[in-house]
Copies of this chain bind each other. A is one copy, B any other.
Amino acid sequence: MALRARALYDFNSENPGEISVQENEIISLHSQQDIDGWLEGSNSKGERGLVPASYVEMIRNDTATSHNNSTSGDAYQGSRYANIPSGGFDASYKPNNQVENFSKAPAPAFPTFSAPAQHQQQQHNYQASQGSDDDWDDDWDDSSTVADEPGVVSGGFRDFEGNGPSTHRISTSSMARGGNAQQAKSSATVSRNLNRFSTFVKSGGEAFVLGEASGFVKDGDKICVTMGQYGPEWQENPYPFACTIDDPTKQTKFKGMKSYIAYKLTPSHTQNQVSRRYKHFDWLYARLVEKFPVISVPHIPEKQATGRFEEDFISKRRKGLIWWMNHMTSHPVLARCDVFQHFLNCTDEKAWKQGKRKAERDEMVGANFFLTISTPAAPLDLQEVESKTDGFKVFTKKMDDSTLQVNATLNEFARKQIAGFKKEYQKVGQSFKSLSQAFEIDQQTYSVGLNQAIAYTGDAYEAIGDYFAEQPRHDVDPVMDLLALYQGHLANYPDIIHVQKGALTKVKESQKHVEEGKMEGPQADSIRERCNIISFATMAEIQHFHHIRVRDFKSQMQHYLREQIGFFQKITGKLEDALQMYDKA
């Protein structure tokens, strides 16, 4: 029996060797084995070539293995940045992070209930491909999987209160201090959240608060929260650095049949250039999301299935990566973490692969991340933490609404300038030119200067039309890039807030249990202590968010205004030139 597959999405071939397929088209496969993420086959037109493995599902007799593949590149086209939910509120968690090359052994459609689910899931996704180092060199820039990001998981601003702890199973037995993978078996004294899709559970927040996280924290892994002028803050990076992203260049491999774009990254602290592809960023992003439960990891620019080699797209993606990099390097925790440093500094291919595997096997992720945090001695007032968290929730909701509004307005403003404004000014220019042409019919010498001046004025207005059309690239676009990045952060915060609120709820429950004699004081105290750690981290992260927000919006609004001023000055200059022409007329 011939191997057959069904296309899950449209795929347009962009390079020799690829074949185009339409959604639901049946493809005859020549082999079930993918080559670097590509399958060889023939489409319904009989064309023979490669299709991305992630775009198709095998047609087997056993239909149960056909699984939902909803996070392909196409799925992101609506939003400017990857992983920003394209709107639509979805309170029920859909584990749509099952994108895998189906040639690998399929994972269960839902992760089994063992915390940290996210961690395990990620390990599966990335460790499963360890066998073939070629996987790293997968040609399909955007086809690498991004599993379990909060942005995808949470449908924007869902009301996580309504999604909160459900029924509790109360037990008086003491907590089992099991290993990393054994928490699920332990019967916790304080309620466990039975909603296995809760971010609080997934992030490892619950496991940590309940004392189920364990791991050896090296000195280098220690993350300090200090008490600053405005409250808890991440200890500043003593070695701040920046990183430039330049020279996106098209490179080919796979006998020239596959192409990708490589960027040159130059960190300021090493000055060693490294070459990285979008898929590397994507991989790194997944590592960071997995590792840091209450840190808002900036989203990387959106995936795009077609037009990936168009100049505009490359330029836009590069700008997005620069914004991303800027947020990475200015985050005291993210900037210093091993996997990011490895990404920035490693030039040797063998060392790269070793570092990659190490990062994928990192145990200090999720629940264990909280173990690495050291806080000031004086605990936080948890009531104040709750109040601040609530306030921040209101803030993020309002900021999300208004960034959406600014985004829509500026988008329309840019569109109007590119189309309508340009047209109006050019029509004015053309009508002046037609007037000067009429005047030229009269050969009076005293009219010549005027005719020329009016013609020049016509040209000036046509140029001004062009200025209007060009301007949004210089001012509106950067603001929209900024907004997109912040929309990513704002999409992260519901989950972060959820973790914080979950921890606070656990403290309240434990207090109640102590009052009811169901729990011993020391146990409740340790829950409170761990909640204090989460609170320090959350407060520090919120503080960091406000700091970079003020910094970014200040500098971006200044940039926008400077550009606008320059723009109107350019127009004024053009008109002044035109006016001067009349002195001679």
B-contacting residues of A (Cβ < 8 Å)? 230, 391-392, 394-395, 398-399, 401-403, 405-406, 408-410, 412-413, 416, 420-421, 424, 427-428, 430-432, 434-435, 437-439, 441-447, 450, 453-454, 457, 546-547, 549-550, 553-554, 557-558, 561-562, 564-565, 568-569, 571-572, 575-576, 578-579, 582, 585
Residues in chain B near residue A569, CB distance under 8 A? 568, 572
**Closest Cβ neighbor of A401 among chain B residues:** B438
Q: How far is the CA of A572 from the CA of B443 in the complex (A)?
A: 40
Residues in chain B near residue A444, CB distance under 8 A? 230, 546, 550
Residues in chain B near residue A427, CB distance under 8 A? 409, 412-413
Contact assessment for A424 and B416 in the assembled complex, using a CB-CB cutoff below 8 Å? yes
Residues in chain B near residue A401, CB distance under 8 A? 434, 438
A555 to chain B, nearest CB (A): 9
Q: How far is the CA of A442 from the CA of B390 in the complex (A)?
A: 11
Give me 25 A-to-B residue pairs in the complex whose CB atoms sit less than 8 angstroms apart, sorted by A's number: A230-B444, A230-B446, A391-B441, A394-B441, A399-B438, A401-B434, A402-B431, A402-B434, A402-B435, A406-B432, A406-B435, A408-B431, A409-B430, A412-B427, A413-B427, A421-B421, A442-B546, A446-B546, A450-B550, A454-B553, A454-B557, A457-B557, A550-B585, A558-B582, A565-B576
Given contacts A434-B406, A435-B406, A441-B398, A575 and B582 within 8 Å (CB-CB): no
Q: How far is the CA of A550 from the CA of B394 in the complex (A)?
A: 65
Residues in chain B near residue A553, CB distance under 8 A? 435, 439, 450, 454
Residues in chain B near residue A395, CB distance under 8 A? 438, 441-442
Contact assessment for A565 and B554 in the assembled complex, using a CB-CB cutoff below 8 Å? no
Contact assessment for A413 and B399 in the assembled complex, using a CB-CB cutoff below 8 Å? no
Residues in chain B near residue A557, CB distance under 8 A? 450, 453-454, 457, 582
Q: How far is the CA of A454 from the CA of B578 in the complex (A)?
A: 35
Q: How far is the CA of A262 from the CA of B448 in the complex (A)?
A: 41
* Pick from B408, B416, B428, B432: contact of A420, CB under 8 Å: B416
A14 to chain B, nearest CB (A): 37
Q: How far is the CA of A442 from the CA of B402 in the complex (A)?
A: 14
Q: How far is the CA of A351 from the CA of B69 in the complex (A)?
A: 98
Residues in chain B near residue A547, CB distance under 8 A? 446
* Pick from B421, B446, B572: contact of A565, CB under 8 Å: B572
Residues in chain B near residue A421, CB distance under 8 A? 421
Residues in chain B near residue A410, CB distance under 8 A? 428, 431
Q: How far is the CA of A408 from the CA of B398 in the complex (A)?
A: 45
Query: Which of A428, A575, A585 has the most C-beta atoms of chain B within 10 angstroms of its own C-beta?
Result: A575
A333 to chain B, nearest CB (A): 20
**Closest Cβ neighbor of A569 among chain B residues:** B572
Q: How far is the CA of A571 from the CA of B435 in the complex (A)?
A: 29
Given contacts A403-B438, A457-B561, 10 further A-B contacts (CB under 8 A): A391-B442, A395-B441, A398-B437, A398-B441, A401-B434, A416-B420, A446-B546, A447-B549, A561-B578, A565-B579
Given contacts A561-B579, A565-B572, A554 and B432 within 8 Å (CB-CB): no
